Amino acid sequence: MLNGSIPWVIGFSGGLSRLDADLSRLRLDSLSASSGVSRVKLLLTEPSGKVSIRFDGGISDVTGRCPKGAAVAYWRRSRDGCAKCGRTDAGSGCCPPGAAARWGRWATYFAVIGPLPYAAVRWAWALGIPLGITEKFFREGQETGLWWAGTALSMVDLAGAFLTLGLVQHWGEVFPRWVLLLSGKRVPPVMAIVPASLVSVMVTSARLQVVRGFLVNGFPTEGWATTAPGLLWPVWGVALGAGTLAYYYRRRGRCARCGRGEDYHSLDA
């Protein structure tokens, strides 16, 4: 077992036929072989600077793999930041948790409002109000049951809007009493960040085509309610992404590796 606390210069003076080496725990300065190499697989360490790898002879099959996130870690170190969190001595990386809580609250509220026009229009059609569509199209939707199907989809949007509030509510940090078996336990940040980020990307990309059609063809004179609520979806997606980012900055706390940053900022603080 090689000592991983000191830098290593590894060289092979003879040819290599087959070598599988796990160097992920070493501080590797350089690796070289002065003769031919046939089949070599290397698991390299996370780079902390330039690592010289040189083969002077012929090469048949050489594979080198870095740990996951090595490219991001190297970029962070290149700007004198922490490889784990990216924060530098000059600042926390973007903004302090208190500031993120303030602008994140506004972004989250916009994200909550985004799907409401879509749901309102679908409910109006289901309740017999031909809002923004022709009478003929309205009757066709009634006969096929299309409006109730749209209402069911709008309920998914409303449920998502309610869950979005968790980004700026106490129950988004600690499971409330009505969550069985988890009541009182801390909500893992990834449980909110991952789904919210995915929805943000999908909502934004799904309706950019609608916005493009609106810019090219103008506002429709008939049936405007079939497309107009969708114009808010890109705003909804961007606002949700911003609110999720603020949630991340607020809850990530102090870095365990470098100690930079501020302690976890609770909304109750």
| pLDDT given for residue 263 in this prediction | 67
Whether 42 and 15 map to the same domain: the answer is: yes
pLDDT at residue 125 above 70? yes
Q: Residue 93 region, left (φ>0) first, then alpha (ψ -120 to 50), else beta?
A: left
Whether 57 and 158 map to the same domain: the answer is: no
Tens digit of each residue's pLDDT (9 = 90 or more) over 207-265: 787 777 777 777 777 778 888 888 888 889 999 999 999 999 888 877 777 777 776 66
Q: How far apart are CA 188 and CA 186, in angstroms?
A: 6
Residue 259 domain-assigned (yes or no): no
Residue 90 domain-assigned (yes or no): no
Whether 166 and 203 map to the same domain: the answer is: yes
Residue 143 domain-assigned (yes or no): yes
DSSP assignments along 73-138, one per residue: HHHHHHTT--TTT--BTTBSSS--HHHHHHHHHHHHHHHHHTTHHHHHHHHHHHTT--TTS-HHHH
Whether 116 and 230 map to the same domain: the answer is: yes
pLDDT at residue 76 above 90? no
Least confident of 25-34, 163-172, 229-238: 25-34
* Confidence grade of residue 266 (pLDDT, cut at 50, 70, 90): low
Residue 87 domain-assigned (yes or no): no
Domain range for 213 is 97-251
Whether 74 and 101 map to the same domain: the answer is: no
Whether 43 and 174 map to the same domain: the answer is: no
Radius of gyration, CA atoms only, the chain: 27
Q: How far apart are CA 42 and CA 192, in angstroms?
A: 37
Domain count, the chain: 2
Residue 266 domain-assigned (yes or no): no
Least confident of 27-31, 132-136, 182-186: 27-31
| pLDDT given for residue 192 in this prediction | 93
Residue 216 domain-assigned (yes or no): yes
pTM of the model: 0.72
Residue 1 domain-assigned (yes or no): no
Residue 88 domain-assigned (yes or no): no
Whether 112 and 48 map to the same domain: the answer is: no
What is the arithmetic mean of pLDDT over 83-91? 72
| pLDDT given for residue 42 in this prediction | 78
Least confident of 49-53, 164-168, 223-227, 238-242: 49-53
Residue that wins the pLDDT comparison between 255 and 203: 203
Whether 118 and 226 map to the same domain: the answer is: yes
- The tokens for 257 are 């590796």
CA 202 vs. chain centroid, Å, equals 12
Least confident of 128-142, 168-182, 211-225, 236-250: 211-225
Whether 73 and 112 map to the same domain: the answer is: no
| Mean pLDDT rounded to a whole number for the chain | 82
Whether 21 and 136 map to the same domain: the answer is: no
pLDDT at residue 179 above 90? no
